[in-house]
Amino acid sequence: MTNFWSGYIIFLTVTNLALIVWLIFATRKGQRSNTTEETVGHNFDGIEEYDNPLPRWWFMLFIATIVFGVIYLALYPGLGKFPGLRGWTQITQYEAEVERAEEQFAPIFARFADMPVEEVAQDDEALRIGQRLFATNCSVCHGSDARGSFGFPSLADSDWIWGGSPDQIRTTLERGRQAAMPAWQQVLGDDGIRNTAGYVRHLSGLETENVDLDAGRQHFQSVCSACHGPEGKGNPMLGAPNLTNDTWLYGSTMTQVQHTLRYGRNGHMPAQAHLGDDRIHILTAYVLSLSEDAE
């Protein structure tokens, strides 16, 4: 926030407080009596309202709220860039909460830190912790059951785009992944896209009519085999999926496969390194257990 806007906010806040105080005192009745025969001067469907003074308790309540507001603005942020006398910020509050949580849960995570991932994947307590970590950080994309959805891979099967070993899973979690399926429309043209899509579907055992499979195979060997391999079995090092099974991240219909070839795909798996080594270790074990359960 710039100094101008900080000063603008401070000016508006202080001015409004001052005007409220003036309004309360300016409209306060000076009579000691709590009643009067005077009216507000208006008639509402034959009903007139007495211009009685504000009850003392109500007046004092207004004053108390103003005093509270002034004290609050002095102690905590609220006046532009002024941090308050206590120096409180949401960042320091968050850091304090994280520190308390670390002190509370660090011994639990430390118990699993030196265990191999395969052993952690067999520990019921660790899996319960991993499930909660997954629900908090991963389920928004992969689903609460880890079965994924369109564009988000299922983690509850034995098919892995980037590899399913403990080290590969951990690398995926720590560093994230970025898909890089290029668009081939300008290279292949409409006929080439259609024939190549038909050939790709053919690799997984799906039948496609009105396509030239030989031409599609030639296109595949020219532009696709560098990543997916000459047999279409994929390459985990590049994140190129196996095209010979029935697992389709973006759909297997002719239209969907052509769309993938024509425009490419750019899926993104965000890095989770902020969770820390201990949590990554348990989360790796949990994801590994999902695949083992599916086998």
Which residues fall in the annotated binding site?
Answer: 138, 141-142, 181, 224, 227-228, 269
- How far apart CA 133 and CA 124 sit, in angstroms, is 14
Residue positions forming the annotated binding site for heme c: 138, 141-142, 181, 224, 227-228, 269
28, 53 contact by CB (below 8 A): yes
Distance of CA 34 to the CA centre of its chain: 58
- How far apart CA 42 and CA 48 sit, in angstroms, is 6
- 146's tokens: 């880890």
Q: CA-based Rg of the chain, rounded to a whole angstrom? A: 33
DSSP state at residue 85: T
Give the SS3 label for residue 50: strand
18, 3 contact by CB (below 8 A): no
What is the largest distance, in Å, between two alpha-carbon atoms of the chain? Answer: 103
DSSP state at residue 242: P
